[in-house]
Amino acid sequence: MNYKKAILTIATLGFTYFIVTRVGFTAQQYAYLRKLNPKGRKRFKEFIKAIEDNLGYSVIITSGYRTFEKQQQLKDDGISPVGAGRSFHNYGLAIDINLLKLGQYVKMGSSRQKWLNTGVPQLAEGLGFRWGGDFSGYYDPVHFDLGNDYNINDLEARAYELYGNNPSDIKGNLV
């Protein structure tokens, strides 16, 4: 194999890999998916694909991985009930989504019944996700996480063990 042909082969393989890892997702979705915890990323991808392919909704991701600092800011601003390290978003193990289908827009302010009518909470349950629409005390229907498989106290302890106590040093999506 000559030099030019080798370069061309490597470039083609690289480009194919680039396309395949992104196939089926919008740039908007991929921007969030790539920052999720590698431990859970595949499951979120499957979940989104299943919503779009089986239920016919387009998925708009509105939140994914959130740093400890950002989480604390949301708590201080009264937007989230929990502070740094206390949300599955802080470990890249949660997403918030809106759903879109032919003029139907399902979002935070939508009723529990409207969400259930989409079939998405039921699909999520079948795939092992927790749904924020079921949370007691804080109705959060846009939220889906892997809280059935990971314990928030364990994740938090592990984060401080790995990165120390300075929130800005913590890479929660790699815990």
d(CA 122, CA 118): 9
- CB closer to Zn ion, 22 vs 45: 45
- CB closer to Zn ion, 52 vs 145: 145
Cβ partners under 8 Å of residue 63, min gap 6: 32, 89, 94, 95, 96, 142
Min dist. Cβ of residue 20 to Zn ion (A)? 29
**Helical residues (DSSP H) of the chain, grouped into ranges:** 3-22, 27-33, 41-50, 68-76, 112-118, 120-126, 152-163
Determine the interface stretch with Zn ion among 28-36, 75-83, 142-150, 166-174 (rule: CB under 5 A). Answer: 142-150
- CB closer to Zn ion, 74 vs 159: 74
Residue sitting closest to Zn ion (CB): 143
Within a 13 Å sphere around the CA of 112, how many CA atoms are in the beta-carbon half? 9
d(CA 118, CA 138): 21
How remote is the C-alpha of 146 from its chain's centroid? 10
Instruction: Decide if 90 contacts 172 (C-beta within 8 A).
Output: yes
Min dist. Cβ of residue 149 to Zn ion (A)? 16
- Residue 143 touching Zn ion (CB under 5 A): yes
Q: How many residues does the chain have?
A: 175
Min dist. Cβ of residue 32 to Zn ion (A)? 12
Near Zn ion in 14-43, by CB under 5 A: none
Number of residues near Zn ion (by CB under 5 A): 3
Residue of 37, 57, 90, 96 that binds Zn ion (CB under 5 A): 96
- Residue 66 touching Zn ion (CB under 5 A): no
Positions that interact with Zn ion (CB under 5 A): 94, 96, 143
